[in-house]
Structure 1
Amino acid sequence: MLDALRAAPATPAFEHGARIVTRGEPLELIRRLTDALREAGLGPGRAVAVRTEVTPEAFAAHMAAHVLGCRVVGIRPGYPPGQLEHVLGMGVDAVVVDPATAMPRLLRAGTPLSLGPVPGATDLLARRHVRPDCHQVKQIGQIGRAMRVRQDIRHMRVATGRRSSRRGPMTWRC
């Protein structure tokens, strides 16, 4: 699936209402959500329940969980209470919801994660996630030669907080 998205990033992948989403958009979103889910403690063998509306963002979240090696279960609307309890009682580590599908029982089942603002859940789309393999590129000296410095997230946060305006331009590249 990821190869198909990469092969033609400008080709439409989804029509969601009046919105046309190219293949490159969910590919980038899958990358961001993979980082966000990893940051939330998910990884190989962890169980993720997904109860969202059908959107490109929901597709990306589902794919991101698979990329991490998670066990993914989709919870369709209208599950009878007994069936919902059975699915959620099977060791779910996290539940992904969106504002339209969030309900208290889902948010109590595991770590609550959301695709949009939901009280009591971490919004995976709201935060800008910095990848741990990013590196700092800083223009230095009069000749403008770039210097590459590898840092982890903790060091990047410290470095950006202490940055002086007298230094040359600085960017982050992943």
Structure 2
Amino acid sequence: MPDVVADGLKVLFCGINPGLMTAATGHHFARPGNRFWPVLHLSGFTPRLMKPSEQRELLAYGLGITNVVARATARADELSALEYREGGRILTAKVERLRPTWLAVVGVTAYRTAFEDRGAAVGPQERSIGSTRVWVLPNPSGLNAHWTAATMAEEFARLRKAAEGQRTGTVTGDPSP
């Protein structure tokens, strides 16, 4: 699954791994029940609701997409802890090369496993990768019933505000939980 990336992005969103629909279409977060695209719009990252097929347009907004693990599966629970940890190492190297302002991992369990940080929670992390700050977002999969689109959009908006403040050098509110 090709990444949607460029040097110096405002936010690099990082999914867990491609689902089968994503792998088949070549578009990130392509499964109809996935809430990534609606939440991205509701949170103010994009001025309109985008389709997965429009993913390359994210670059114009300073946004990109990658994954922790490259292997496509029907469900993320098919991945091994070893795959997550190796994905975390590969992702770290990618972030060091691309230097986005923020890395946003969508899925707290994936983040905990990939970066061996059992205490991580949704929100900004203490960890940084070079100058890149790290934020953990809720998994937008339709299987994640703990979060509604509205509550997810609130968390995505917290990241957006923090990223906008960091890029302009101003503080736009406390990004801490």
Provide the TM-score with structure 1 as the length reference.
Answer: 0.28
Bigger fraction of residues in strand:
1
